[in-house]
Structures are given as C-alpha cells and as structure tokens.
Structure 1
Amino acid sequence: MYKPEITRNMPIFTGIRTFMHLPYLKTMDGIDFVIVGHPFDTGVTYASGTRFGPEAIRSRSARIHSYNPALDLDVFDYLSGVDSGDLRTVPGFIEESYQIVEEQLIPYFQNGIVPIILGGDHSITLPHLRAAAKKFGKIQLLHFDAHSDTWDTSFGGKKYTHATMFRRAVEEKIVDPKKSIQIGMRQYSKKDLIEQRDLGYEVITALEFREMGIKEVIRKIKSRIGNNPTFLTFDIDFLDPAFAPGTGTPEVGGFTMCEALMLLRGIAGCNFIGFDIVEVLPDRDPTGVTALNAAHIAFEFLSLLAFLKKTKHSSSLKKEMV
C-alpha cells in the first residue's frame, strides 16, 4: 500500500516535492492511481508558461491532508498510489509529443490504474483521451472550462492547439459527445456555441449555470454521463480570475473555489477512469493561489476515486450478506 510519506515528526516543507508527499516511484504494481505531470505548453494561443504547472501544483499540495470531510473518508484507507514524475515530451513539437505521451499512458489504463495528470496547457488532453480509448473504446467527457475548445482550426489553420482538441476527439471517435457534457463556458461567439452543440456535446454555459443552480447542474451531469467510463478534465480558468489569476486565458464572471468543490463532491459515485487539471501558469500568480486551488482540485479527484472504491466495496459486502 503506497500513501504519503510524512509523519507528525516531519516538517511538511521538507522532502522531494511530490504530490501530497507520495512516494516518487515508477511502478504499476500495487497501485490504484498514479500522479503524473505533463509539462507541455506548445499548444497555447496566448500566454505560455503552463509547462511549469506540474511543479507548482506539487509544491502547493504539501499541506493537503488525506481526509475529505465532505465525503467522510480518508482517501488512503481505500487507495494506493504514487507520483511517477513527469511524462516525456518534445517541447515545440505537439504531434510528436502526443504520440509519445499516449504510449506512456496506455499501460496505466490497460492495467486498471487511473492517471491523475497535472498540466500543461489544455491541448495535452487529446493524447490522454486517445490512451484511455485504447482500453475503454469510445469514452465520455466531463469538461469544466471557460472555453469550449472545439474550434476546427486555430491561428494559421493549425488543427492541434488548446482550442481544438475536443473537436478532434469527436472526429477521431474516441469521445462520445452524446454522453458528454461541457460546463462553464463564458467566452464564445454565437457561432461557436452552435457548432459546439452541433458536435453533440451538451453545453451548460456560465449564464445557464447561474439560472439553473448548482444542484440542477449536478443532476444534469449525472444524467448525461451515467455509469459510463468518463474522463474528467478541469481547466483552471473555469474558476474566476479572483481564484485563478495564474492562467493564460482568464475570463471574468467565473466560479468560486467553493462552487468547484461542491460540483466535484456532488458527482461522487460516477465511473471516472482518468483525470487532468490544466492551464496553471505560475508566473502570472506570485501568490500561488492558482496552483493551491489546482492542487486541491487534484485531491478531489483522488477523493472521487476513493468514494467509488468504497461504494463498490460496500456493495460487495451487502451481496455477500444476502
């Protein structure tokens, strides 16, 4: 069983900067999840620097405790996992990086290990989805973001950027848009929104979110993805710039960290097979609050996995008792 290597006699600011003080280990034996960094930002169309996101998130995770009071569980009572460091990439070459990242992630999915990936700009999610699809076939996408990322091409007619990958995922038939949902959009044209929905995605814009309320949004998420294998991708600019100033394309009118936590905790029990948190740009946030919030979002990912495992274990015990 692998869990954070820290005791009350060990100051939390010491040691190697792994996520939550997890062991730094490259293994697939005896683990339920793996933390990996994906330090790549060649897909950005505005501000660069998210290649330093994984480092900042790990550093800000040092004080996170393993007990989740909202879900009433200690994640390491149910999960074993490690921090395996960063994925190999080729800076400046997006398609080559896609290929080698996919190759590195496939073994985790094939062995039933859930990757929690720290980005990196949002273009990195495409190879994550490709690797997951090798195991699960066409998967569902739960996407929190201020932007749809469903453009056909970006500047210069480029088809692979952080603004295009969720259109590519539909075209490649690795994501089923009719069982997927995108939430929080607040920077788009009317044409963008029509095209997003024409691809098949259910879309809840920030304005629609405010009108329907958080409980209804949670209900819609659960109804849309059901118990199907789902990849959860969280762009930190889903949060308002007050809570995430350190990102490349901040948009006003976003969500609080409290709302983000309520959303994630509200979908506990869904069948998540992979996660990523992206677009943390530490150089634009000297306070470190963006990376701190991203680290806590990654911890909520762990909590969702632990809750699912706890639920499955409880169900098995009930069946044995019948």
Structure 2
Amino acid sequence: MTIGPVDSSAVPRFAGPATFARLPRLDQVARADVAVVGVPFDSGVSYRPGARFAPAAVREAARLLRPYHPGLDVSPFDAVQVADAGDIACNPFHIGEAIETVQEQAGALLDTGAKLVTLGGDHTIALPLLRAVAQRYGPVALLHFDAHLDTWDTYFGEPYTHGTPFRRAVEEGLLDTSALSHVGTRGPLYGRADLDEDTRLGFGIVTAADVMRRGVDEVAQALRERVGDRPLYVSVDIDVLDPAHAPGTGTPEAGGLTSRELLEILRGLAGCDLVSADVVEVAPAYDHADITSIAASHVAYDLVSLLALKGKP
C-alpha cells in the first residue's frame, strides 16, 4: 500500500509544506521506489547564477500536479512508492567537495533500492549523479536534453563546471558510448571543433531544428533505437526549452523546443530501461509567472511517471 499526496479536497493545494507533488517525505514511508531529491548548488555556472533556488521553486510549482497521468495511462503514486527525499546540502564554495557530497548521498539513496529524480541545481551535478548510478548499473546510456553540448574540456582551466560534465563522464567510463545523444541543441559555438570533439566522444545530436522538421514521434523512435535495452539515464537542462517556455534559466538560447515537444518526446521513451534522471538549470530569479518552474515540475512528473510505469506490477 503506497502513501500518496495530501488529499487536495481536504487540504487546499496552496496550504502546507511544499514537498514535490505534495508527496510524503522519505522519513514518512517505510521505503521508496522513486525518490525526488534536490541539489541546491550553482557554483559551476558560467553566466547567470541562481539555480541553487530551483529545488524549492520546482516543489512549489509541483503543488498543482495531480495523481493520474493520462498520456502514459499510469497513476504513478499508486503504482510505486514515491517520496520527497529533501535536499543534498553541499559546499557552495568548493566544487570538488560538492561533487563528492552529491555522489556519496545519491549513492546512499540508490542503495535503498530507490531510483532518483534529481532537481538541480546547475548541470555540474550530473557528473556525481552519473558516478553513483554507474557504480550500480555499469556504464549507462544517456539522453541529454539541452541547448548546449556540455562536453567542453575546461572553463578558465577548471575541469568541473556545468559545461563539462559529460566529457568527464565519458573519460571516466560512466557512459556507454554506443548509446549517447544530445537532444534540442542549438545556438552558436566556439568553432567546428566543438562538434568534432563531441562526435569523437560518442554523442549523436538531434538539434532543436531536427525536432521541428522530423516531429516528436520520429525523434522518440530514433532515441529508443539508439538506447535499445541498455540502462538509461535522462538529463534535462531546462534551457532545452525556448526562452518563451523557460525564461528562468542561466544560459538561454533562442529557437528551442516547446514544453509540449519536450514532454511528448519524454513520453515516447516509455518502455526504455530508465534507471534515474535529473532536471537542472532552473533559475527562479529570471522567471516570470513561474513559467520555468511549472515546466520543470511537469518534466519531473513525467520522469517519475516513466519510472512508475517501468516499476508497475
């Protein structure tokens, strides 16, 4: 018997503590099949800061989420036990120490048998999350939804930033290089060498323009074929969305996906062996009417629903 969200017919959605989707805290359940955990860290950003405030903002936006997902025909909070695991508190002044903390505490949650949906924070946190996941599943397939490649080598000589996690992940053997893809990339680069290096690392690319021209069904099918039956990690940088749909982010780029396109592609991954996921780079200070936080809450809900569909008896 699972414990689900607070009953909104008894307690208004705007009342009470803000856990994700008004779900129970991890300490209120015997165990969790899916744990939603925040990482309020943004010391790895290269432009606008503020993603440290995202886990709280996304939880607030998630108050309106309801317990049945018609697009996937699943009631995720009935199918599996989902709980809010609170935040991983990490050092905002030392990126290396923060990475170690995230890896250790994410690993402890995974050791309980839970799958993770992590609310960032900036994209630096994807590296320790992938380290923790790979320790338990071996090298994983990766679908990376982002305006940017995030496979740069260093910024100002620093190897650990929000623009470098997936280069480090390939170098460390965390990823199955036969099953990697960026989705939604766009915008100017430093040079052609950026793309050549990305290809050398093993990534395929589905640009935002490809999504527009090919359509979500064809893109989702291609991604499913690339991933196959490998354990899959999904990383969603909210700036994959056009600034019209996600203005509250640190490095916005024109010409992005709509929220509808992103959600439909994610739903097209039903049946894949999803093992954990993250949603990062929401920066509430630049948001308007909670547009970005609302989008991120729905992305996280879809990821939880995919994990629930996979774990449904």
**What's the counterpart of residue 236 of structure 1?**
238
User: Distance in 2 between the 1:7 and 1:151 partners?
Assistant: 45
**Aligned partners of 1:40 and 1:119 also within 8 Å:** yes
* Structure 1 residues without counterparts, runs of 5 or longer: 314-322
**What's the counterpart of residue 227 of structure 1?**
229
Letter in 1 for 2:176: D
**What's the counterpart of residue 159 of structure 1?**
159
CA-to-partner distance for each residue in 1:238-278, whole Å, 9 max, x for gaps?
00000000000000000111111110111111111111100
Map residues 93-104 of structure 1 onto 2, 5 A cutoff: 93-104=94-105
Q: In 2 relative to 1, CA 26–190 (structure 1 residues): closer, same or farther, beyond 3 Å?
A: farther
**What's the counterpart of residue 273 of structure 1?**
275
**What's the counterpart of residue 86 of structure 2?**
85
**What's the counterpart of residue 140 of structure 1?**
141
**What's the counterpart of residue 168 of structure 2?**
168
TM-score by length of 1: 0.93
Q: In 2 relative to 1, CA 70–176 (structure 1 residues): closer, same or farther, beyond 3 Å?
A: same
User: Distance in 1 between the 2:245 and 2:21 partners?
Assistant: 21
Per the TM alignment, residue 30 of structure 1 is displaced from its structure 2 partner at its CA by 2.6
Report sequence identity in percent. Answer: 43
Letter in 1 for 2:303: F
Moved more, 145-154 or 172-181: 172-181
Moved more, 181-190 or 271-280: 181-190
CA-to-partner distance for each residue in 1:2-37, whole Å, 9 max, x for gaps?
321224121110111110111123478431011110
CA-to-partner distance for each residue in 1:105-139, whole Å, 9 max, x for gaps?
11222332101110101111100000001111111
Letter in 2 for 1:87: I
**Aligned partners of 1:186 and 1:205 also within 8 Å:** yes
Q: 2:255 aligns with which of 250, 253, 256?
A: 253
Map residues 1-322 of structure 1 onto 2, 5 A cutoff: 1-26=2-27, 29-154=30-155, 156-187=156-187, 188=189, 189-310=191-312, 313=313
**Aligned partners of 2:247 and 2:292 also within 8 Å:** yes
User: Distance in 1 between the 2:228 and 2:274 partners?
Assistant: 11
**Aligned partners of 1:2 and 1:31 also within 8 Å:** no
Per the TM alignment, residue 286 of structure 1 is displaced from its structure 2 partner at its CA by 3.3
Per the TM alignment, residue 89 of structure 1 is displaced from its structure 2 partner at its CA by 0.2
Q: SS of the counterpart of 1:178?
A: strand
**Aligned partners of 2:4 and 2:78 also within 8 Å:** no
Per the TM alignment, residue 303 of structure 1 is displaced from its structure 2 partner at its CA by 1.0
User: Distance in 2 between the 1:137 and 1:309 partners?
Assistant: 20
Q: SS of the counterpart of 1:153?
A: coil
Moved more, 225-234 or 20-29: 20-29
Letter in 2 for 1:71: L
User: Distance in 2 between the 1:26 and 1:74 partners?
Assistant: 22
Q: In 2 relative to 1, CA 250–104 (structure 1 residues): closer, same or farther, beyond 3 Å?
A: same
**What's the counterpart of residue 318 of structure 1?**
none
Per the TM alignment, residue 153 of structure 1 is displaced from its structure 2 partner at its CA by 1.0
**Aligned partners of 2:58 and 2:294 also within 8 Å:** yes
User: Distance in 2 between the 1:243 and 1:269 partners?
Assistant: 27
Per the TM alignment, residue 82 of structure 1 is displaced from its structure 2 partner at its CA by 1.1
**Aligned partners of 1:28 and 1:108 also within 8 Å:** no
TM-score by length of 2: 0.96
User: Distance in 1 between the 2:27 and 2:103 partners?
Assistant: 17
Letter in 2 for 1:95: G
User: Distance in 2 between the 1:226 and 1:28 partners?
Assistant: 34
User: Distance in 2 between the 1:245 and 1:193 partners?
Assistant: 26
Moved more, 16-25 or 158-167: 16-25
User: Distance in 2 between the 1:266 and 1:168 partners?
Assistant: 28
**Aligned partners of 1:28 and 1:111 also within 8 Å:** no
User: Distance in 2 between the 1:18 and 1:167 partners?
Assistant: 33
Letter in 1 for 2:81: S
CA-to-partner distance for each residue in 1:68-109, whole Å, 9 max, x for gaps?
111122112211021121002001211101111111111222
